[in-house]
Structure 1
Amino acid sequence: MAKTNRFEKTINIKNKKASFEYEFIDKYVAGITLRGTEIKSLREGKASLTEAYCYFRKGELFIKQMHIAPYSLTVYYNHDPVRERKLLLNRQELNKLESKFSEKGLSIVPVRVFINDRGLAKVEIALAKGKKTHDKRQSIKEKDAKRDLQRMVL
Structure 2
Amino acid sequence: MAAKKEHSNSKLVAQNRRARFDFFLTETFEAGLALRGTEVKSLREGKGNIQESYAEPKNGEIWLINAYIPEYQSKMPFGHEERRPRKLLLHKREISKMSDAVNRKGTTLVPVKVYFNDRGIAKLELAIGEGKRKSDKRDAIKERDWQRDKARILREH
TM-score by length of 1: 0.90
Paired residue secondary structure (1:145): helix
Aligned AA (2:61): E
Q: Which residue matches 2:73?
A: 72
Paired residue secondary structure (1:68): coil
Runs of 4+ in 1 over 6 A off after TM superposition: none
Q: Cα distance, 1:75 vs. partner? A: 4.1
Q: Which residue matches 1:11?
A: 12
Give yes or no for contact 1:109–1:128 (8 Å, CA) kept in 2. yes
Which ranges in structure 2 are unaligned for 5 or more consecutive residues?
A: 1-8
Give yes or no for contact 1:37–1:74 (8 Å, CA) kept in 2. no
Q: Which residue matches 2:5?
A: none
Give yes or no for contact 2:63–2:87 (8 Å, CA) kept in 1. yes
Paired residue secondary structure (2:11): coil
TM-score by length of 2: 0.88
Q: Cα distance, 1:153 vs. partner? A: 4.4
Q: Deviations over 1:51-104 (max 9, x none)?
A: 100001101000000001111124421111110000011111111111121111
Q: Which residue matches 2:126?
A: 125
Q: Deviations over 1:90-137 (max 9, x none)?
A: 111111111121111110010110100000000000001000000000
The correspondence of residues 52-63 of structure 1 with structure 2, limited to 5 A, is 52-63=53-64
Give yes or no for contact 2:13–2:48 (8 Å, CA) kept in 1. no
**Against the structure 1 CA distance between its residues 92 and 50, is the aligned structure 2 distance closer, same or farther, given a 3 Å change threshold?**
same
Q: Which residue matches 2:30?
A: 29
Q: Cα distance, 1:143 vs. partner? A: 1.3
Q: Which residue matches 1:151?
A: 152
Paired residue secondary structure (1:128): strand
Q: Which residue matches 2:42?
A: 41
- How far, CA to CA, are the matches of 2:75 and 2:125 in structure 1? 28
Which ranges in structure 1 are unaligned for 5 or more consecutive residues?
A: 1-7
- How far, CA to CA, are the matches of 2:71 and 2:154 in structure 1? 44
